[in-house]
Structure 1
Amino acid sequence: MQNMFGPVLIVIVAILFFGTIFGICYLYFTSRTRERLALVERGLDPNFFRPRRTALKYGMVIFSVVLGMTIGDFIPWRYAIGVPLGVMLGGLSLILYYFIIDKRLGKQDEA
């Protein structure tokens, strides 16, 4: 006699997994729409919460993490230092990004 619970269990897990993904996406988009409608009703710009200059931030972080991991691979030590060095340089790039944006926003406020 064959075990029929295997395929049934896989189907149930797949349905639950994709149902959860759908539920999260549905709640995210409906709450975002409600929030924007509330902003429009109050007379505010609906793109008020849209992040600005994120491409610079992501570019800096990705470049510095890859650079740190590459440098860590070339250091002739006994221990693996590539990942910690990449994480450290990624954090430093976020700090540098903060100062760059702070300086740019300060110039815009003065003008």
Structure 2
Amino acid sequence: MNGDIIVPITFIASIFGIIYLYLKSRHRERIAMIEKNVPANSLYNKPKILAITLKIGMLFIGIGVGILIGYIINHIFSIQEGHIFYFVFTFLFGGLALILNYKIEKNKEDVY
């Protein structure tokens, strides 16, 4: 009974601890930049944030397509151990999405 409640509490505390440490280190970094008279525009890196959201979005789309293709193949061939298709195609299409993201970011870099 006690173990059933300790695990979720520890998980939630860990997440809040990671967020706290991230925000605290970011604050220290910004204070150090202000003390060294670094311009404020270097604090806000908008293209980098957009690249991360593109990467995460493409990864999730790739994972979704992989699960869908695994489902379709599983039902077409009706193999008893068909759950392997979900696993394989999820990673295959997730990886392909990340490769496509790399190509897109490389093309954007060449334009600028």
> Structure 1 length normalisation: TM-score?
0.69
Greater CA drift, 98-107 or 78-87: 78-87
Q: Please report how far the alpha carbon of residue 21 of structure 1 lies from its aligned counterpart in structure 2 after TM superposition.
A: 4.5
Pick from 22, 28, 38 the counterpart of residue 34 of structure 1: 28
Q: Please report how far the alpha carbon of residue 10 of structure 1 lies from its aligned counterpart in structure 2 after TM superposition.
A: 7.8
Q: Larger relative contact order (C-alpha < 8 A, sep ≥ 6)?
A: 2
> Structure 2 length normalisation: TM-score?
0.68
Rg (Cα) greater in structure: 1
CA RMSD of superposed structures (Å): 2.9
Q: How many percent identity over aligned positions? A: 30
Number of the residue aligned with 2:57: 59
Structure 2 Cα separation of the partners of residues 31 and 77 of structure 1: 52
Structure 1 Cα separation of the partners of residues 103 and 57 of structure 2: 16
Q: Please report how far the alpha carbon of residue 99 of structure 1 lies from its aligned counterpart in structure 2 after TM superposition.
A: 0.9
Unaligned runs of 5+ in 1: 1-5
Q: How many residues end up aligned between the 2 structures?
A: 100
Structure 2 Cα separation of the partners of residues 39 and 52 of structure 1: 23
Structure 1 Cα separation of the partners of residues 95 and 14 of structure 2: 33
Q: Please report how far the alpha carbon of residue 92 of structure 1 lies from its aligned counterpart in structure 2 after TM superposition.
A: 0.9
Q: How does 1:42-81 map to 2 (within 5 A)?
A: 42=36, 43-44=38-39, 45-48=42-45, 51-75=49-73, 76-78=77-79, 79=81, 80=83, 81=85
